[in-house]
Amino acid sequence: MKDIPYKIYLDESELPKNWYNLRADMKNKPAPLLNPATLQPMTAAELSGVFCDELVTQELDDTTPYFEIPEEIRDFYKMYRPAPLVRAYCLEKKLGTPAKIYYKFEGNNTSGSHKLNSAIAQAYYAKKQGLRGVTTETGAGQWGTALSMACSYFELDCKVYMVKVSYEQKPFRREVMRVYGASVTPSPSMETEVGRKILQEHPGTSGSLGCAISEAVEMATHSEGYRYVLGSVLNQVLLHQSIIGLETKTALDKYGITPDIIIGCAGGGSNLGGLIAPFMGEKLRGEKDYRIIAVEPASCPSFTRGKFAYDFCDTGMVCPLAKMYTLGSGFIPAPNHAGGLRYHGMSTTLSQLYDDGLMEAVSVPQTAVFEAAEQFARVEGILPAPESSHAIRAAIDEAMKCKETGEEKTIVFGLTGTGYFDMLAYEKFHNGKMDDYVPTDAELQAGFNKLPKV
């Protein structure tokens, strides 16, 4: 076997030419989105009022295994991809583990995360359709930043509704979006009907993601030449994110490495779904077996404590229903939760795979996540995003089990991004102001009781 460098960089020529559509290899397909009014599957025509036409096609297609990546998107990818697969030699040494640890690092771009992989694709299709612009919502700001960068590249108008509390507490994220020419509106705003209504009912509210989604959707569907875009959960997003897994697999194959365990953090599932795609494909086709682990925060445990049921994708209940592991669309994680991954539901594809026993899930408490983040930063030199640090926590835990048993397992995890705009959370951690509150069974049950009857 060849010597394995610290960082495996693929050549530009090895950049994948196709995205991989995991659904094509699933026997049990993910359940379709339902129209909340009729409870019938959403049609292409219904979806195309909200999303670009080609994205609707990608959203609905569960049989075509590969979609060609347009040259224009590949050119953009070349600015920051192929992303490195890093051998965590220093972490292994520090842990004293016989395990071999690799991580796919998606943070080497200004948006600071993997979100850019789908943002550029969605912006491209909007441009191709001749649209003027797109609207979206953002909470912490990673998705909004990624979309701003993508729209700037294709000279599309970009309108971001940013949850008001984040808008005020994270002025730097907002400022990055302004560098890329996006207009950023604190939500709720007076610009939309739903915003005005909420402000009238709750004067002085600091907003929520659910409300920001509703405003973005309203603005898109009421403005000529605009569509709405979303950074996670959807099948189209998982499709675009498959580039993470495809590159990872190419890099591993090049050095003859077969992973035993693949680990990713899971909020809506965009990173996890992308990272595991080609590996899960092999598993589905019976070619190989891998342990695949989703890691979620103990404060928002969709997989580990949620219900597999049809639910609204948004808190405002204006979007279609999706069959997924959910805590109920009204679920809001404890306000002290700093670690991202706050979505109440989960990608329908991943939900189906989990329900079919093809992957595992663990939940980890917040303090343990930041401990792992700091340990990782000190030896590997990268200050990780809180979201990514959930995967680090699980990877370290698995590596420590190997230390006990002496097994030389190969662990691959997704390092989705950097934490440069999350230093408030790190500060909280250093000052001992973080707590590990998890929802009680009664609290979760209250959410389950409100699930729509489908």
Residues that bind a second copy (CB under 8 A): 5-7, 9, 11-12, 76, 78-80, 90, 108-110, 112, 149, 152-153, 171-172, 175-176, 178-181, 374, 377-383, 418, 420-421, 423-424, 426-427, 430
Q: Which is nearer to a second copy, 312 or 370 (CB)?
A: 370
Cis peptide before 32 (omega within 30 of 0): no
Residue given tokens 């389950």 in the structure block: 448
Q: Which is nearer to a second copy, 126 or 350 (CB)?
A: 126
The DSSP 8-state label assigned to residue 22 in this structure reads: G
Q: Which is nearer to a second copy, 368 or 379 (CB)?
A: 379
Q: Is-contact 30 23, C-beta < 8 A? A: yes
Q: Shortest approach of a second copy to residue 1 CB, angstroms?
A: 16
Q: Which is nearer to a second copy, 109 or 302 (CB)?
A: 109
Dist. CA 229–CA 207, nearest whole Å: 20
Dist. CA 258–CA 288, nearest whole Å: 10
Q: Which is nearer to a second copy, 12 or 253 (CB)?
A: 12
Q: Which is nearer to a second copy, 88 or 244 (CB)?
A: 88
Torsions phi, psi of 109, nearest 5? -150, 165
Q: Which is nearer to a second copy, 146 or 361 (CB)?
A: 146
Q: Which is nearer to a second copy, 326 or 389 (CB)?
A: 389
Q: What is the DSSP string of 64-116?
A: --EEEPPHHHHHHHTTT-SPPEEE-HHHHHHHT-SSEEEEEE---STT-BTTH
Q: Shortest approach of a second copy to residue 16 CB, angstroms?
A: 16
Beta-carbon contacts of 214 under 8 Å, excluding residues fewer than 6 positions away, are 192, 194, 314, 316, 318
Q: Shortest approach of a second copy to residue 11 CB, angstroms?
A: 7
Q: Is-contact 266 294, C-beta < 8 A? A: yes
Positive or negative, the CA dihedral 87, 93, 99, 103 is negative
Strands (E), 140-229: 157-163, 183-187, 226-228
Q: Shortest approach of a second copy to residue 429 CB, angstroms?
A: 9
Q: Shortest approach of a second copy to residue 344 CB, angstroms?
A: 29
Q: Shortest approach of a second copy to residue 381 CB, angstroms?
A: 5
Q: Shortest approach of a second copy to residue 80 CB, angstroms?
A: 6
Dist. CA 210–CA 329, nearest whole Å: 9
Torsions phi, psi of 124, nearest 5? -60, -50
Q: Shortest approach of a second copy to residue 335 CB, angstroms?
A: 20
Q: Which is nearer to a second copy, 306 or 419 (CB)?
A: 419
Q: Shortest approach of a second copy to residue 383 CB, angstroms?
A: 4
Pairing of the two strands 18-20 and 360-364: unpaired
Dist. CA 79–CA 230, nearest whole Å: 22
Q: Which is nearer to a second copy, 96 or 381 (CB)?
A: 381
Q: Which is nearer to a second copy, 9 or 202 (CB)?
A: 9
Q: Shortest approach of a second copy to residue 212 CB, angstroms?
A: 21
Q: Which is nearer to a second copy, 58 or 109 (CB)?
A: 109
161 torsion bin: left (phi>0), alpha (psi -120 to 50), beta (else):
beta
Q: Shortest approach of a second copy to residue 92 CB, angstroms?
A: 13
Helix (H, G, I), strand (E, B) or coil at 404: helix
Q: Is-contact 145 123, C-beta < 8 A? A: no
Residue type present at position 398: E
**57, 348, 322, 198 alpha-carbon torsion, rounded to 10°:** -100
Beta-carbon contacts of 226 under 8 Å, excluding residues fewer than 6 positions away, are 131, 132, 133, 134, 135, 157, 159, 219, 220
Picking from 313, 234, 247, the residue whose alpha carbon sits closest to that of residue 277 is 247
Q: Shortest approach of a second copy to residue 317 CB, angstroms?
A: 35
